[in-house]
Amino acid sequence: MSSLPQGDPARQAELFQSAKDAADLTPTTSNRLKYALALATPGFSGSDPVAAQRQLSELLARPETLLPAERLLALVQLKEVEQRLILQAENTRMREEASHDSRDKLQAINKRLAAESDENARLRKALDEARAKLEAVTHIERSINDRGTSGARTP
């Protein structure tokens, strides 16, 4: 079992399957403990902290079946698994919260962008109207100036 977290993936799978088969075929307390410890070992594909917690709790429910060292090992491992599950739940909650915050911020930014775009469109329209009025005034001034100069030439 000590080589489970250190082995390559193929060796890990082999050791895990061996512990599982031993627990299924010969469910002695020792074999069930080895399987529970394999489930509790983090960092490989067979790791299952929920199943490990269940297995270790079942073993510790009948402490008389365990040797003192096995009982201590199971208890320590159970506490570690419980802490890992708490941390995973907290990590998941924080990720979801961060995702929710990001979504809210993105929505606020998109609303602001839409409002700014609408304001820009309104201002462009006002500018186009002002330019049209300016052109009309300029055209009127030219007409008046042209009449004034053409009227001064004709006696």
Residues 126-141: tens digit of each pLDDT: 999 999 999 999 999 9
- pLDDT at residue 154 tops 70: no
Greater confidence (148 vs 20) lies with 20
| Percent of the chain's residues with pLDDT above 70 | 92
What is the total residue count of the chain?
Answer: 155
* Token duo for residue 92: 């998941």
pLDDT in tens, 69-87: 999 999 999 999 999 999 9
Evaluate if pTM is beyond 0.85: no
State mean pLDDT over 56-73.
92
CA separation for the pair 41, 56 (Å, rounded) = 13
State yes or no: pLDDT of 155 exceeds 50. Answer: no
3-state secondary structure 44-94: CCCCCHHHHHHHHHHHHHCHHHCCHHHHHHHHHHHHHHHHHHHHHHHHHHH
**47 pLDDT higher than 50:** yes
Q: 102-116: per-residue pLDDT in tens?
A: 888 888 898 998 999
pLDDT of residue 120: 92
pLDDT at 8 exceeding the cut of 80 = no
